[in-house]
Structure 1
Amino acid sequence: MLADALEHLVSGIVDNPEDVEVTSRSMRRGQLLEVRVNPDDLGRVIGRNGRTARALRSVISALSTRGPVRVDVIDTDRD
């Protein structure tokens, strides 16, 4: 559910929503959500001084009902 919500939020921000991929893993300290986007959209997801990424983390943390959630934006260079 959290992965779907994050994917929906990120898809609304980027120019290439079909390239958005969110994977979820359970870690010892909670859940880890990894976001992969088109390399051209990386700046949009991170935002100026990381503001957009911080806002996404805040929203997902607020939605979480099962403890801490970590959101990582993965830099994928697909050249």
Structure 2
Amino acid sequence: MKALVETIAKALVDHPNEVRVNAVDKERTLVFELSVHPDDMGKIIGKQGRIAKALRTVVIAASVETDKRVTVEIV
């Protein structure tokens, strides 16, 4: 799942070497913290948050098999 977030993010940005994904495992939630180069923040978020929402939707769809709730946070 972490590789999925990283692959999608690297395809969207101009500085793919700056993409970092940190997985934080909480009690019933798995949070992926995505950090990118400051110049690429707009590309990850998209107009009115559309790309960020699509990224979250893909991750949620991929996590159906797990018992945990999965979210993506952009830091």
Indicate the TM-score class for this superposition, using the shorter chain for normalisation: over 0.9
In structure 2, what is the Cα distance between the partners aligned to 1:53 and 1:68? 17
Q: Structure 1, residues 43-76: CA drift from partner, whole Å, max 9, x if none?
A: 00000000000000000000012131010000xx
In structure 2, what is the Cα distance between the partners aligned to 1:49 and 1:72? 16
In structure 2, what is the Cα distance between the partners aligned to 1:29 and 1:54? 21
Unaligned 5+ runs, structure 1: 75-79
TM-score by length of 2: 0.93
TM-score by length of 1: 0.89
Secondary structure of residue in 2 paired with 1:15: coil
Unaligned 5+ runs, structure 2: none
User: RMSD of the TM alignment (CA)?
Assistant: 0.7
